[in-house]
């Protein structure tokens, strides 16, 4: 079985029971001039994940393994957005440079061109930060016999962490790729990754994508 150099221990996985999860690589979070930047965030901190993730996706697809993308967003009438979320995310549903912010069907809600899903890949729309809440993700994984997840995307301490923590509770083994996850805040990136691998891998494992690509293409 493929084994990847990782922290706190090497990560071993079976290719037919492992999925690559690409979390919320959406224009609203990543594009200059978009929602994320309009909140004062430095999108370069997220955009550095695009290149390694593009390389990883190419290798993963060439191997023929499962890919699942997620997108955070809401129905146009916002009926799936809790008022409490709307109060603290006042731009959600408002007109932004790339359409209504975090609304399904809008240009900004979709995935950046470089990482666009290809035919056969699942795209899971989620109203929350975690990828399991109010989605079919658990069913998709169960149907395909998936037991391990390679987790990538943005942002490290928000949607990636929420998803990894819940996946861990649900019994999935998660490998988080340090260079393929990004936070607007370098400190959160550093500590967020430390938290995952701490205490013997309390939530999972952390590795660099190069180590995984080496195994895939071996």
Letters for 50-89 (x = contact with ligand TIU by CB under 6 A, - = none) are ----------------------x-----------------
**Catalytic residue check, 126:** yes
Any contact of residue 158 with ligand TIU (CB under 6 A)? yes
Any contact of residue 149 with ligand TIU (CB under 6 A)? no
Q: How far apart are CA 23 and CA 152, in angstroms?
A: 6
Which residue, 148 or 156, is less far from ligand TIU as judged by CB?
Answer: 156
Of residues 18, 24, 103, 110, which one binds ligand TIU by CB under 6 A?
24
**Catalytic residue check, 24:** yes
Any contact of residue 152 with ligand TIU (CB under 6 A)? no
Which residue, 3 or 133, is less far from ligand TIU as judged by CB?
Answer: 133
Any contact of residue 22 with ligand TIU (CB under 6 A)? no
Which of 81, 159, 174, 180 is an active site residue?
159
Closest among 163, 153, 148 to 6, alpha carbons compared:
148
β-strand partners of 59: none
For the CB of residue 134, give the shortest distance to ligand TIU in the complex, in Å. 15
Contact 46, 36 (CB under 8 A): yes
Which of 81, 126, 129, 180 is an active site residue?
126
Contact 2, 65 (CB under 8 A): no
Q: How far apart are CA 185 and CA 8, in angstroms?
A: 23
Q: In the range 99-138, which residues lie near ligand TIU by CB under 6 A?
A: 129
The total number of residues shown for the chain amounts to 218
Stretch that binds ligand TIU, among 9-17, 56-64, 133-141, 155-163 (CB under 6 A): 155-163
Which of 24, 110, 174, 180 is an active site residue?
24
Number of residues that bind ligand TIU (CB under 6 A): 7
DSSP notation for 89-142:
-TTTTSEETTEETTBTTSGGGSBPGGG---TT-EEEEESSSSSSTTSSHHHHHH
List, in sequence order, every beta strand (DSSP E) within the chain: 3-4, 11-12, 18-23, 66-72, 95-96, 99-100, 122-126, 148-154, 173-182, 205-207
Which spans of this chain sit near ligand TIU (rule: CB under 6 A)?
A: 24, 72, 129, 154-155, 158-159
């Amino acid at each position: 079985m493929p084994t990847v150099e990782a922290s706190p221990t090497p990560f071993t996985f079976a290719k037919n029971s492992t999925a690559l999860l690409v979390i919320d690589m959406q224009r609203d979070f990543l594009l200059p001039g978009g929602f994320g930047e309009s909140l004062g965030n430095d999108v370069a901190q997220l955009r550095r994940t695009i290149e390694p993730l593009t390389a990883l996706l190419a290798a993963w697809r060439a191997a023929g393994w499962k890919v699942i993308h997620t997108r955070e967003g809401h129905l146009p009438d916002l009926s799936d957005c809790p008022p409490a979320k709307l109060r603290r995310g006042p731009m959600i549903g408002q007109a932004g440079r790339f359409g209504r912010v975090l609304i399904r069907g809008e240009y900004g809600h979709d995935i950046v061109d470089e990482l666009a899903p290809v035919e056969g890949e699942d795209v899971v729309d989620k109203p929350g930060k975690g990828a399991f809440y109010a989605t079919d993700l658990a069913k998709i994984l169960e149907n395909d016999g998936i037991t391990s997840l390679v987790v990538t995307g943005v942002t490290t301490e928000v949607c990636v962490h929420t998803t990894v923590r819940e996946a861990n509770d649900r019994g999935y083994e998660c490998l988080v790729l340090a260079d393929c996850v990004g936070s607007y805040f370098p400190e959160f990136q550093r500590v967020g990754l430390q938290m995952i691998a701490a205490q013997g891998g309390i939530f999972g494992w952390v590795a660099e994508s190069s180590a995984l690509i080496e195994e895939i293409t071996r």
